[in-house]
Amino acid sequence: MRRHPALATRHGIRRRTDRVVAALQQVHPAGAVALVLLVMVAVWLVVAALGGPPLPLVHLYYVAIVLAAYRFGLRGAVPTAAGSGILAGPLAALPPTPFGEDTLGWAVRCAMFVSVGAVLSLALSARDRGSEQQVTDDVRTAFDRRDDRPPVDPELVARAPALVASGALTMVYQPIYSLRDGRLVAVEALARFDLPGRPGPQEVFAAAARAGCDRELELLAVRAALRGGTDLPAGVDLCVNVSPGTLADPRLHDLVVTARPRSVVVEVTEHAVIHDYDLLRDALARLADAEVRVAVDDAGSGFASLRHVVQLAPHIIKLDLSLAQGVTVSPLRRALGESLADFAHRSDALLVAEGVEDEHDLVTWAALGADLVQGYAVGRPGALPFAPTSDVVVRCLRRAGLPAR
């Protein structure tokens, strides 16, 4: 599955526009001054030839003012506006009518030129400062993350072996839809536990790891997920989560092989450290022989996840929600998302924007090149089955002028 051609074209147009603005800002100062003067003279000649400043064409002087504001800011826009006012006033036409209109009208136009140039320059300056601050905040949020996992409850650690022995867990599923046409392509199985104090799944798995029975709990969840997903439609993958240690466990291989012809995707969680990639690659080769695909989960949440992507060469890359959310308003997230999408496609992998809760972000990820979307915007975790097509994705693609095919 690849990017929608129209989406790629639309995004390419936007990028070309950005490059034009960037090129203007990088023009040598002398060249920029010459360009502004050339535009002013050209407008003066056209306006004078057609009868003077009362014509609507006099507003073309704003082109020179905007060019000066983009390249030089306030110190360029105000002189250009004043010069345009002089060209549109005292020098607007040849004698015997040097103003071409009354003095008051010229003064008002000159004041408007200067005001527009000043306001535009100040707005651009404020936007640039805001963008710089946003990038700084995004970098701090994305790369200076502290471990936000909850502390492990000692009582929960003590109950973990009994929990595994009893098999007291239930599975819910969350849909994953194509950003090309809104079709359901996969569901992710998620474990839930009905325990005193109602601890979250992350806390329970952390407690099991502390108790030394995390592999058994993960395998238990995989078994439950496979049982619950037996009635999935053909062509819809079942995604299960395991740690790197469980990925190398022969028991996992036996489970997924017995699940055939069910199409299974094994998601490797990011938080666990991998010490022996060679050993893990052997396990991946065995899974590949069983036609089981591998995904790296929470990609981008830390440098370890990026190392997983490089070392494991997964079939699917699932972005961490810290990158997936807020991409519409974040230049840094958009830049990272576009780079990761390009990397994924060059690696023959699919990119999943996970944790998407906002429809604007959904449209942005489609434009950036993500292949699939998962999150509250398209479906919350729940019981099977799910709609074969996401109305939300189809509506968003249509809103962006890209009807689903």
The more confidently predicted of residues 106 and 377 is 377
Q: What is the pLDDT of residues 178-191, one digit of tens each?
A: 999 999 999 999 99
The more confidently predicted of residues 8 and 170 is 170
Residue 149 near residue 302 (C-beta atoms within 8 A) = no
Q: Which helix (H) or strand (E) holds 315?
A: none
Could you write out the DSSP letters of every residue in 117-165?
A: HHHHHHHHHHHHHHHHHHHHHHHHHHHS----PPPPPHHHHHHHHHHHH
φ, ψ of residue 141 in degrees (nearest 5): -70, -40
**From-to residues of CATH 3.20.20.450 in the chain:** 154-399
pTM of the model: 0.69
CA distance 268 to 320: 13
CA distance 3 to 51: 53
Residue 312 near residue 295 (C-beta atoms within 8 A) = no
Q: Would you say residue 72 has pLDDT above 50?
A: yes
Q: Would you say residue 352 has pLDDT above 80?
A: yes
Burial of residue 101, with CB atoms counted within 10 A of its CB: 0-12 exposed, 13-18 middle, 19 or more buried: middle
Give pLDDT, residue 179: 94
Give pLDDT, residue 374: 96
Q: What is the pLDDT of residues 116-135, one digit of tens each?
A: 888 888 887 877 776 666 65
Q: What is the pLDDT of residues 381-397, one digit of tens each?
A: 999 999 999 999 999 98
- Read off the pLDDT of each residue in 239-259 and give the average, rounded to a whole number: 87
Return the CATH number of the domain spanning residue range 154-399.
3.20.20.450
CA distance 43 to 60: 6
CA distance 354 to 372: 8
Percent of the chain, pLDDT > 90? 30
Residue 179 near residue 373 (C-beta atoms within 8 A) = yes
